[in-house]
């Protein structure tokens, strides 16, 4: 009978004595030769795990408590109270900005459409400026407060990384702002794009290179025109405008009214306005239409009676 050699009897397969001073010294009993079909590497002969089990959650909790205590010792709580004071001051400043922006108009609206459009503009401008100022203030505070100070390799560490109430607030508040702006934009479109059914005057505006002509028709059937270079309406009259071009694309623009309508060949655009203030207002072509585009001007006369 041929006796089967044990792994430990082979000099080439024996575990070197160099590892006896390492972690394997805890398992020296595993190096003893055993009869039978033993594994090739006696280090793994037993079911005992070679390395102790570490409670990672407990270690993490312990480290978190140590960090919190260190932050309290460094005065982070006082820093957070300073942040609250900065936010309160920023809110007060933004409220003053909103109040001042509400009365920042240099002159009253000349048409209902202009008034509605400017209200929408300021409604969007004030929150945009407020959010921008708040973000810049928070960035400046964070840069100053958590900078790396002389003699340190890192800046202060904030233990609190999640805040459910704060995350809820910055989700709900922007949603409310978007809803308010959307409703206001819809109301503005109702004012500017709803053409009155029975206007006091209907003006057919014809554009050509490089002049404007106007045909004014009244409900009683009378009309005036074609007038070249100017037309006249009265204060308080509801005027319906129909735009047509006989050559190239133009753009009817009355800058004082904040009005700009494209005039396209083969398509009739329409708009309306109600003049609220008497005066003379310049009409320009706001789209390049040829070499003499600069000379395509006219005048809107608004009389008080």
Asked if 296 contacts 271 with a C-beta cutoff of 8 angstroms, the reply is no
The pLDDT confidence band at residue 73, using thresholds 50, 70 and 90, is low
**Structure confidence by residue, pLDDT tens digits, 159-214:** 677 778 888 988 998 899 889 999 999 999 988 888 888 888 999 999 998 899 99
Report the alpha-carbon distance of residue 296 to residue 207 in Å, rounded: 9
Stretch 255-279: mean pLDDT: 90
Report the alpha-carbon distance of residue 86 to residue 198 in Å, rounded: 56
| Torsion of Cα atoms, 207 then 213 then 218 then 224, to 10° | -160
Helix, strand, coil percentages (3-state) for the chain, rounded to 5, are 45, 20, 35
- pLDDT of residue 20 exceeding 70, the answer is no
Q: For residue 74, give every residue at least 6 positions away whose Cβ sits within 8 Å of its Cβ, in sequence order, or none.
A: 156
Report the alpha-carbon distance of residue 250 to residue 263 in Å, rounded: 5
**Structure confidence by residue, pLDDT tens digits, 210-249:** 899 999 888 887 777 788 888 888 998 899 999 999 999 9
Q: Are strands 279-285 and 297-303 parallel, antiparallel or unpaired?
A: antiparallel
Report the alpha-carbon distance of residue 51 to residue 23 in Å, rounded: 8
In total, the chain counts a number of residues equal to 305
Dihedral sign of CA atoms 40, 42, 47, 48 in order? negative
Domain 201-303 indexed as CATH 2.60.40.1930: no
Q: What residues does each domain of the chain span?
A: 7-44, 73-193, 201-303
- pLDDT of residue 63 exceeding 80, the answer is no
Tokens encoding 149: 């100070």
| Spatial CA neighbour of 203 closest among 293, 283, 273, 250 | 273
């Amino acid at each position: 009978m041929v006796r089967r050699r044990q792994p430990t009897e082979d000099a080439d397969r024996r575990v070197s004595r160099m590892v006896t001073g390492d972690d394997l010294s805890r398992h020296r009993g595993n190096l003893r030769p055993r009869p039978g079909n033993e594994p090739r590497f006696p280090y793994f002969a037993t079911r005992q795990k070679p390395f102790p089990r570490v409670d990672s959650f407990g270690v993490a909790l312990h480290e978190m408590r140590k960090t919190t205590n260190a932050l309290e010792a460094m005065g982070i709580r006082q820093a957070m109270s300073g942040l609250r004071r900065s936010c309160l001051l920023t809110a007060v400043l933004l409220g003053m900005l909103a109040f001042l922006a509400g009365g920042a108009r240099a002159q009253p609206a000349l048409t209902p459409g202009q008034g509605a459009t400017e209200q929408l503009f300021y409604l969007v401008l004030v929150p945009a400026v407020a959010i921008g100022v708040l973000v810049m203030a928070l960035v400046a505070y964070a840069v100053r407060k958590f900078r790396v100070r002389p003699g340190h390799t890192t800046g202060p560490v904030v233990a609190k990384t999640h805040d459910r109430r704060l995350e809820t607030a910055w989700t709900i508040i922007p949603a409310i702002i978007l809803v308010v702006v959307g409703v206001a934009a819809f109301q503005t479109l109702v004012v500017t794009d709803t053409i009155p059914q029975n206007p006091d005057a209907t003006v057919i505006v014809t554009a050509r290179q490089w002049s404007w002509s106007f045909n004014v028709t009244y409900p009683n059937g009378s009309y005036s025109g074609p007038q070249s270079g100017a037309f006249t309406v009265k204060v308080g009259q509801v005027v319906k405008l129909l735009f047509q071009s006989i050559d190239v694309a133009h753009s009817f623009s009355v800058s004082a009214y904040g009005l700009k309508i494209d005039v396209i060949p083969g398509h009739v655009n329409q708009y309306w306005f109600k003049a609220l203030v008497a005066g003379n207002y310049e009409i320009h072509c706001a789209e390049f239409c040829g070499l003499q585009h600069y000379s395509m001007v006219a005048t809107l006369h608004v009389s008080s009676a």
